[in-house]
Amino acid sequence: MSLSEKINQDVQSSPLGAGGQTVTVKCPATVANLVCGFDILGMALDEPYDIMKLKLIDEPKVIITNKDAYNLPTEAEKNVAGVVLLEIMEKTGHKFGFEVEIEKHIKPGSGLGSSAASAAGAAVAANHLLGNIFSTDDLVQFAMFGEKLASSVKHADNITPCITGGVTLIRSIHPLDIVQLNSPSLFVTVVHPQIEVKTSDARQILRKEVLLKNAIKQWGNIAGLVAGFEKGDTDLIGRSLEDVIIEPVRSILIPGFDEIKHKSKEAGALGGGISGSGPSIFMLCTDETFAKNVERIMQDVFHRLGIEYKTYVTSIAQQGVSVL
């Protein structure tokens, strides 16, 4: 039996028939790169998160409704969730479509995986409606089409933890090789200054060549960070949260970054840095009291700079996109 025939059989055997089935999912924010792991490391957050509702319909098209004030495109070909659903429809070859409502609480351009939440949410929700016929790797590959639309690059460092939860290592994209890492019980403090840094713009300013001495130092930090997560060694995690390649360039786009990082570590944070391409900044702490102290530092800095902001004191989400 072909994939298309199996899907049609599963849907037709439902009490609701071909159309009418719905699912609502919660899609977590994510922190990509984790300072030194550019494009290969990411973690899911308990807050903030998006809500998406997906409905299976009889017509082979994608209908998108926004339930927020961000005015994102509703044409499927121009919407991150839309292109993922179109890819799923093309892959399966079935004659059904989807109606999707998106309620975003992860602001686009925040550096907290807003596009990944939409892409991953669409993939997981569609898979649920189709009888969970796709593997995790399949879902990541579908969702990467959304990231390509958002940033012109098929990266999975936000997508993967958004789908699986926890902390993930993308060892390879071609072929896709995902490694789920242990997630220690750490608090995550995030500040999102209300300025926009587009992922595509943040990539353009990066250097195309890297000095060997910097590459060696970066490899050591990545290996140390992965080992720290696996061993639950928070001291090693803290020592490894150093980026000598990407952060020195991107941090110039974020006012107050150096001050926040320095003062946060003085206040007890293990370390942290730019979340994704920014402008959000995250810090990891072993204790909630430290995490709240770091939040106050972040608030004070941006208040003094006259920049509006939003802060979160949250933790690493152990579950990715979930059905409500």
Do 110 and 34 belong to one domain? yes
What CA–CA distance (Å, rounded) separates 156 from 208? 20
Do 234 and 111 belong to one domain? no
SS3 content of the chain, % helix, strand, coil (to 5): 40, 25, 35
3-class secondary structure, 140: helix
Write the DSSP string, 94-114: -S-EEEEEEE--S-TTSSS-H
Report the CATH number at residue 210.
3.30.70.890
- Active-site hit among 168, 199, 311, 314: 199
Residue 15 has pLDDT above 60, yes or no: no
- Active-site hit among 99, 147, 247, 295: 147
Do 232 and 146 belong to one domain? no
Do 147 and 7 belong to one domain? yes
3-state secondary structure 225-244: HHHHHHHCCHHHHHHHCCCC
Per the structure, how many domains does the chain have?
2
The amino acid that residue 51 corresponds to is I
Do 109 and 160 belong to one domain? yes
3-class secondary structure, 311: strand
Do 94 and 165 belong to one domain? yes
Do 176 and 56 belong to one domain? yes
pLDDT of residue 95: 83
Do 80 and 109 belong to one domain? yes
Question: Is residue 147 annotated as part of the catalytic site, yes or no?
Answer: yes
Report the CATH number at residue 33.
3.30.230.10
Do 221 and 106 belong to one domain? no
Give the model's confidence band at 71: pLDDT under 50 very low, under 70 low, under 90 confident, else very high: very high
7-21, 186-200, 205-219, 278-292: segment of lowest average pLDDT: 7-21
Do 230 and 199 belong to one domain? yes
Give the model's confidence band at 151: pLDDT under 50 very low, under 70 low, under 90 confident, else very high: confident
Do 161 and 14 belong to one domain? yes
**Structural domain of 279:** 187-315
Instruction: Give the mean model confidence (pLDDT) for residues 216-244.
Output: 97
